Amino acid sequence: MQEPRELADIAQALLNAKEVTVVSHVVPDGDCIGTSIALALGLKSKGLQVQVVNGDPVPEMYAYLKGSEEILLPSSVQRVSDVVVLVDCTDLERAGSFLEGMLSKVPTMINIDHHVSNTYFGRLNYVQPSAAAAGEMVYALLRKMAVEITPEIATALYTALVTDTGSFQYENTTSETFQLAAELVDRGADLEEIRYNLWERKPLISLLLLREVFPTLSLAYDGRVAWMTLDKRTFDTLEANSEHCEGFINYPRAIDGVEVAMFFRETAPGEIKVGLRSKKKVDVNLLAAQFGGGGHRRAAGCVVQGTMEEAVNRLVAAAGAMIQDQAVK
Ligand SMILES: [Mn+2]
């Protein structure tokens, strides 16, 4: 991959700073947490004061990452520094409503993201939709800043890579992704710790939820669109949180013949959060954009106002239209 011009500017801006705040998106995933931690560790090793903030608590499954315990909630942040790095976020809004206000006045906002729907909200923008994970980009940045990649940084970045590529299965996985993974293993990424925490300690609630969600599995358009739904009552009865639904969308997605998979979750009365995935042809970033959302070509999301039935009808019809447009067989 050719080195983007912005990389040098961002490395310089960070090396010139004394303190930096690293922020990522709400409902944090492995890329967001791993990348934030790796960047924070790297900046600290260069003598900078660093605070990492997230609008939501770190999911328990990522607590094995050293540095995750230092990630602050917005309520315990007195002030943000003049230099802020926002990673893995399409726009400021993704940081959550509390932080969004604080961040809108920051003099040097640095935007590092791999979402194709990124709005270039920063003063410095390093946006690379071809990157499999924001972690891939932060690795390039750390190397540019001559940061030594310690085992802790390697473990955090490997976590970012392995989660955002679905264990190197998704289309975003390239030879560069594998090369970086190998490099991180050489640098001491703790594969055993990663494997155990990510795949061998699923919360029981997650499977109890899945048991409720499976009966909702539905298909349309000759089996090319598949979806499942989860209402708020079921979610609340099991005392679930959004972490517990991680990966549910992969079940409809994995069905033979399905091109577009969707997972609908009622997050509040009259508010439905929709996850979207596609396999080969349909650009779900464009599909999500019709409903004010966005993401990547193969993975995106949006929030729809209305009842579950209305949300399902609208999204399924829109997905069907895109499938017919692109003559998906
Ligand atoms: Mn990401």
| Cα torsion 183, 187, 188, 190: sign | negative
d(CA 214, CA 211) in angstroms, rounded, equals 6
Q: How far is the CA of 237 from the centre of ligand 1 (A)?
A: 31
Q: How far is the CA of 294 from the centre of ligand 1 (A)?
A: 13
Q: How far is the CA of 32 from the centre of ligand 1 (A)?
A: 6
Average of per-residue pLDDT across 229-240 = 97
Average of per-residue pLDDT across 242-264 = 95
Share of the chain above pLDDT 90, in %: 91
Looking from the CA of 170 toward its CB, the CA atoms found within 13 Å total: 21
Q: How far is the CA of 160 from the centre of ligand 1 (A)?
A: 7
Q: How far is the CA of 301 from the centre of ligand 1 (A)?
A: 13
The predicted model scores a pTM of: 0.89
Q: How far is the CA of 133 from the centre of ligand 1 (A)?
A: 5
In the three-class reduction of DSSP (H, G, I as helix; E, B as strand; rest coil), residue 293 is classed as: coil
Residue 2 pLDDT class (50, 70, 90 cuts): low
Beta strand 260-268 pairing with 271-278? antiparallel
Place of tokens 């094995």: 64
Which residues have C-beta within 8 Å of that of residue 127, sequence separation ≥ 6? 111, 112, 113, 114, 115, 118, 120
pLDDT of 16 above 60: yes
Q: How far is the CA of 92 from the centre of ligand 1 (A)?
A: 15
pLDDT tens digits, one per residue of 148-195: 999 999 999 999 999 999 999 988 999 999 999 999 999 999 999 999
pLDDT recorded at residue 5: 86
Q: How far is the CA of 239 from the centre of ligand 1 (A)?
A: 27
pLDDT of 1 above 60: no
Q: How far apart are the first and last CA of the chain?
A: 33
pLDDT of 4 above 90: no
Q: Which domains does the chain have, with CATH numbers?
A: 5-199 (3.90.1640.10), 204-325 (3.10.310.30)
pLDDT recorded at residue 191: 98
Place of tokens 């206000």: 101
d(CA 137, CA 113) in angstroms, rounded, equals 8
Q: Which of 16, 33, 10, 40 is nearest to 122 (CA)?
A: 10
pLDDT recorded at residue 204: 96
pLDDT recorded at residue 73: 97
pLDDT recorded at residue 325: 85
At 324, the amino acid letter reads Q
pLDDT tens digits, one per residue of 264-297: 999 999 999 999 999 999 999 999 999 999 998 9
Distances (CA, A) of 251 to 59, 131, 167, 228: 22, 25, 16, 9
Q: How far is the CA of 81 from the centre of ligand 1 (A)?
A: 24
Q: How far is the CA of 224 from the centre of ligand 1 (A)?
A: 26
pLDDT of 143 above 60: yes
Average of per-residue pLDDT across 71-88 = 95
Place of tokens 């991959």: 1
d(CA 162, CA 198) in angstroms, rounded, equals 10
